[in-house]
Chains A and B, each alone.
Chain A
Amino acid sequence: SAVISQKPSRDICQRGTSLTIQCQVDSQVTMMFWYRQQPGQSLTLIATANQGSEATYESGFVIDKFPISRPNLTFSTLTVSNLSPEDSSIYLCSVGIQGYGYTFGSGTRLTVV
């Protein structure tokens, strides 16, 4: 199955700043997915990132707050902008590989102070 390297694994950020999370996959994939897991809750899909086009955002998530880049078939970044304490969550990227199913990155634990 695919291996995803997600960075950083955790960070503590000041209010009003931004954090950019990177995901590198060891094989080419068409779609990459970004999820948020708020404390004690399940995973919620933020957006789907397709190489060469704008990401598709789920209801409740907007590009200005969560800009996504997808410059090639093995890499994507998610930025969480204008941070507030409510953004404190775990953020995960995921890919689907034909025949193997879905793989998740190890997650980025964000704490906003």
Chain B
Amino acid sequence: AQSVTQLGSHVSVSEGALVLLRCNYSSSVPPYLFWYVQYPNQGLQLLLKYTSAATLVKGINGFEAEFKKSETSFHLTKPSAHMSDAAEYFCAVSDGGNNNDMRFGAGTRLTVKP
């Protein structure tokens, strides 16, 4: 069975600083990996996904993530944080194919200080 672990339940950065949200996965087969964002009182929005193509994945709102098999990681980064990036971020894994369920990490709450 697959799983993900998000390191750090809360991350705080200053506006304009680098955003780094960490995610490590466990999967017995090549994984599909996802990052979702959830703004307060809103639904989930897909930021980006890795599905065994390019290891560096670019998503919406300037976010990107790099799949590193040797480190079993899929960390989310953004060069310069905006106040509007403050939200809850979830890493998720599937074992491939869209008939397979998705497992979510515990989430990381990002705070952006002015």
Residues of A within 8 A of B (CB): 30-31, 33, 35, 41-45, 48, 92, 94-98, 100-107
Contact = CB atoms under 8 A, between A and B. Distances in A.
The 7 closest A-B pairs by CB, nearest first: A96-B98, A43-B104, A31-B99, A106-B43, A104-B44, A42-B107, A42-B104
Contacts of A107: 43
A43 B44 CA distance: 10
Contact of A102 (B34, B105, B107): B34
B46 interface: yes
B73 interface: no
B84 interface: no
Contact of B102 (A33, A97, A98, A105): A33
**Chain A binding surface SS class:** strand
Interface string B90-102: 1000100111111
Interface of B: 32, 34, 43-44, 46, 49, 51, 90, 94, 97-107
B101 A101 contact: no
A44 B103 CA distance: 7
Nearest to A48: B101
B99 A30 contact: yes
Given A42-B106, A43-B90, A92-B43, A98 B101 contact: no
15 contacts: A30-B99, A33-B101, A33-B102, A43-B44, A45-B101, A92-B43, A92-B44, A96-B98, A96-B102, A98-B98, A100-B98, A101-B98, A102-B34, A104-B43, A106-B43
Contacts of A100: 98
A42 B90 contact: yes
A100 B32 CA distance: 12
